[in-house]
Amino acid sequence: MRTFIFSLLVVFFVVVSPTAHSQPDAARPLSTKVQMYHGRPTLFVNDQPHYPMIYALTDVPGGRWSWEEVAQHNISNFCEAGVHLFQVDLFLDHIWHEDERFDITPAQKQIAGILEVCPQAAVMIRFHVTAPKWWTRTHPGEWVEYADTDYQDESTDGFPRIIEEDNYPVRRVSMASKLWREESGAKLSEFLTALARTPEGNALGGMQIANGVYGEWHNWGFYRNEPDVSKRMTQAFREWLRSRYGSDSALRTAWHRPGVSIATAEVPGMNERRTQSGIFRDPTRERNVIDYYTCVHELVADNIIHFARIVKHTWPRPIVTGTFYGYYFSTFGRQAAGGHLELHRVLESPFIDYLSGPQAYEPESMKLGEPYRSRSLITSIRLNGKLWLDEMDVEPTLPNTRDTRYDVLLRNSIANVRRNILFSYTKGMGLWFYDFGVAGVDLDGFHYHHRGSRGNWDHPTVMTDIKRLKGLLDKRLSSDYRTEADVLFVYDTRSLYHTASLRGADPVTPAVIDFATLNAFKSGVVFDPVHIDDLAKIDFTPYRVVVFGNTFLLTDTQRDFVRTTIARGNRTLVWFYAPGYSDGTTLNTSRISALTGITVEPVTLSQPPEIVFDLPPDSAVTYRVGEQSFGPLFAVSDPGSDAFGHYKGTEKVAIARKSFPDHTSWYIGLPNTGTEPMRHILGSSGAHVYSASGDVIYAGAGILAVHAKDGGTHVISLNNGKRMSFELPEGATTLVLDSENGEILLPIPQ
C-alpha cells in the first residue's frame, strides 16, 4: 500500500528566496519565522515573505544524499524554476554511533550539496529523534509492547531503509520512555550546537522534528496493531491519572470502580478496548479506556513540544520549527490507535510554527480526475496562525517522445502538478515535491520512460509549467487571502476517544470523515474543513451550508453556540448519525433531537442497515455502510419534517429535512460512501455549484482551479453568475482562472 510503504521520512528542508521579493544573501546567517501576512500564515526568511513551494529528496537509499549526481540534477532543475526551498533527510542513526562517536558530517554534506547547485538555498532539517537501532537493541526495558501481538523480527536483507518496517510490530522504543526522551533530546541539542559553529550552519532555516511510524508521530505499528501496554506506558498512565484526578477517591468516582487506585491502575487490554454500547463508549463504564487513549495522545503531543522547545532554545537565531501532525482524513480508521487527536495542544505551542503531512491517499485522491487534498483540518491550522505543508508524492506520467500518446500523457502531467499545487495554495498553505523517483522507486506500478534523470518531475515542459506556477503564486503572495468556500465541514478529534477504536469496529466514523468531504468535491462546490473547537474564530457570513461530521460528543457550550450563532441567516445545517449523543458523561438520544430540532428515536433492525434515499424528482439511491449489523441506530419520528429516505425493509425514516424560520436542518441516519444524498443537499441548499459535470474545484486567494479528467466541453459557473465554456483537448486539464472574472492565468496545454 503506497501510503505506508513510501510515505514520509526524515528530511532536511531548504528554505529560501522564492518570491518576487529580494533574494537573501547566501553568506548571511539565516533567520526564519512564520507569521500572518495578508491573512495567511507565511514563511519569512531574513524578514522577507516567501511562498513555501519546496523540492524534497527522500530517505530512500540511492536517492538520499544531495551531493550525488542524480539528486543534484533535480535540485538544479527546481532551483532554475525559481524553487529555492529544498528538503533532505537526517536520522540520529546517521550521526550518533554505538561507540559514542557523534559526527555531524552527513548534515554538513547535505547542506553543502544543495548549496553547490543552488547557492540561494537555506536549509531546514527534518530530524528524526527516533532512537538509533543500536540504542534500541541495548535498552530492552524501554521497548513498546503491543497490546495484541508479540514482536516481529526485522528483516536483515532487502530494502535497507531505517524506517522500512516501522508500521509492523517490531522492536521500537516506547513513546513513554523518559530515558529515550532525555538522551535523544541531549543529542539534538548537541547536534544544533555543533552545526551552529560551521559555515553550513549559516544556511539552516528550520527544523522538523520526527518520530514514530515513518517519522509521522503515529504509534508504532498502529495501522494493524494496538498501542502500548509496556511498563513505561503503564508508568506514564499512572502519572497522567494522578495529574488528572489527584486522588484515589476521585478516580474511583470517575471510573465507577470502588477498588481501583492510581498506584495500581493498569493500561486497558484488548478485551476492555471493545466497546459495550455499539460503536460508542459508555463513559459510565468505559472511562478507563477513554482516559488511556487520551493519555497516549497527550503524551505524543508533549513529546513533539519537548523536542521543538529544545530547537528553539538551542539555536542561536530565530528558527522555524515544525512537525508531522494534524492528520485527520485518510487515517484508515485508526485515529485512536495512532492518529493525531490532540491538535490544539500542538497548535497552541509557541515552539511549533508549522504542521505537515502527506496528501490524502484514500479514498479516490491520487488519480487524474480525483480531488488531491490535504489530510488535515486545514482551516483550523490557518485560523490558529500556523503554516501547513502538504507532502506531495503523486508523480505525473512523464512520457517518452516515442510514445504514441505523448501529447496526452504530457497534458496529464501538467494537469496533475497544477491540481496538486493549487489545492494547497487556495487554502492559504504550501507544499513540497517528494521525489522518490531520484532513487528509482516506482510507487504506482506505472513504469515511466524517463530521459536522463529519474526524477519524478524531470521533464522540461513540466518544469516550465512549475516555473510559471511559482511566478504566478509569488506575485499573489502580497494580495489579501480570502477563502471562497460557502460550505463548512465541522469535525471533532476528541469524539474519537468515545467511539470504537479496534479495526473495523466503527463503520460510521470513517465514512463521515473521508467520504462526506469526497462527495462534496464531486458535487462541484468549494468547502472548508474545521475543528469544532475553532468555531468561535470563524466569520460565518460566507457559509450557506454547515455540515457537522463526527460531532457525536458535544458540550453545553458548543450546543449553545450552534443554536445562537450557526443556526441563523437561512443557513442549512446537515447532521450525521448521532450528533451530541454523548456529553462526555452519559449517552442520551434526546440530545440528538434537541440539537438538530428533528425528533429521533432508537431503532433496531434485523439485518445490516441499508438506506433508500428518495432522490427528487422520481429516482432513488440505496446504500449501506459496512456489511455487518451494528448499533445504535436512530430513526426520525417527527411529523413536522419532510422524509427523504427510509431504512430498507421498514417504514422507519432515515433521512429528513425540517424547515425553521431562520434555518433548515437535515438529519442523515447513516453516511454514504457515494455522492448522494450529499450532492442533492448541497445543490439545493444555496451552496454555489461551479461545475455540474464532476470537475474538481478549488477556489481561494483569488484563484479558481478547475481539474477536469477528460477533454470536451466544460461549463463553469463563477460566483458572480457568469458562465464560461471551455473546449478542452483529450486527456486531463487543470484550468487556472481568476476567480472573479474568469481570466485564464496560465495557458491551456494543447
Contact between 487 and 519 (Cβ < 8 Å): no
Summarised one tens digit per residue, pLDDT across range 363-403 is 988 899 999 999 999 999 999 999 999 999 988 888 888 88
Summarised one tens digit per residue, pLDDT across range 411-445 is 999 999 999 999 999 999 999 999 998 888 776 66
The alpha carbon of residue 469 and the mean position of all alpha carbons in its chain are separated, in whole angstroms, by 24
> Where do the H-state alpha helices sit in 315-459?
335-338, 343-347, 378-383, 406-426
Architecture of domain 2-226+298-476 in this structure: Alpha-Beta Barrel (3.20)
Contact between 745 and 471 (Cβ < 8 Å): no
The secondary structure of residue 265, as a DSSP letter, is -
SS3 state at 492: coil
Summarised one tens digit per residue, pLDDT across range 590-642 is 999 999 999 999 999 999 999 999 988 889 999 999 889 999 999 999 999 99
Rounded Cα gap, residues 357 and 344, in angstroms: 16
Classify the C-alpha dihedral 688-734-386-173 as positive or negative: positive
Place of cell 483550523: 380
**Residue 381: its H or E element:** helix 378-383
Place of cell 540504542: 135
Summarised one tens digit per residue, pLDDT across range 689-712 is 999 999 999 999 999 999 999 999
Summarised one tens digit per residue, pLDDT across range 513-537 is 999 999 999 999 999 999 999 999 9
> Where do the H-state alpha helices sit in 118-268?
133-137, 178-195, 231-245, 248-255
Q: Of 358, 421, 345, 339, nearest to 384 (Cα)?
A: 345
Rounded Cα gap, residues 674 and 679, in angstroms: 9
The mean pLDDT value for 535-541 works out to 97
> Where do the H-state alpha helices sit in 511-551?
516-521
Q: In CATH terms, is domain 487-683 a member of 3.40.50.880? A: yes
Contact between 618 and 689 (Cβ < 8 Å): no
Q: Of 420, 379, 387, 299, nearest to 734 (Cα)?
A: 420
**Residue 86: its H or E element:** strand 85-91
Pairing relationship of beta strands 32-37 and 40-45 according to DSSP bridges = antiparallel
Place of cell 487543470: 734
- pLDDT for residue 706: 98
24 has pLDDT over 50: no
- Reported as a pLDDT band with limits 50, 70 and 90, residue 88 is confident
Contact between 545 and 486 (Cβ < 8 Å): yes
Rounded Cα gap, residues 607 and 648, in angstroms: 10
Hey, what's the cell of 707?
481539474
Rounded Cα gap, residues 704 and 690, in angstroms: 10
Contact between 707 and 369 (Cβ < 8 Å): yes
Rounded Cα gap, residues 639 and 206, in angstroms: 60
Domain ranges of the chain: 2-226+298-476, 234-289, 487-683
- pLDDT for residue 3: 38
SS3 state at 457: coil
105-109, 223-227, 402-406: segment of lowest average pLDDT:
402-406
Q: What Cα–Cα distance (Å) separates residue 279 from each residue in 223, 324, 606, 646?
A: 19, 29, 17, 21
Rounded Cα gap, residues 228 and 177, in angstroms: 11
Q: Of 267, 271, 272, nearest to 233 (Cα)?
A: 267
Rounded Cα gap, residues 635 and 599, in angstroms: 9
The mean pLDDT value for 104-125 works out to 94
Rg of the Cα atoms in the chain:
26
Pairing relationship of beta strands 527-531 and 642-647 according to DSSP bridges = unpaired
Place of cell 457550550: 557
Q: What Cα–Cα distance (Å) separates residue 511 from each residue in 222, 333, 550?
A: 20, 9, 10
Rounded Cα gap, residues 515 and 364, in angstroms: 9
Listed in order, strand segments (DSSP E) in 669-720 are: 696-700, 703-708, 712-717
Rounded Cα gap, residues 454 and 451, in angstroms: 8
Rounded Cα gap, residues 650 and 657, in angstroms: 19
Percentage of the chain exceeding pLDDT 70: 95
**Residue 208: its H or E element:** strand 204-210
SS3 state at 343: helix
155-159, 230-234, 307-311, 602-606: segment of lowest average pLDDT:
155-159
Summarised one tens digit per residue, pLDDT across range 457-492 is 999 999 999 999 999 999 999 999 999 999 999 999
Q: Count Cα atoms within 13 angstroms, Cβ side, for 748.
A: 18
503 has pLDDT over 70: yes
Rounded Cα gap, residues 193 and 358, in angstroms: 30
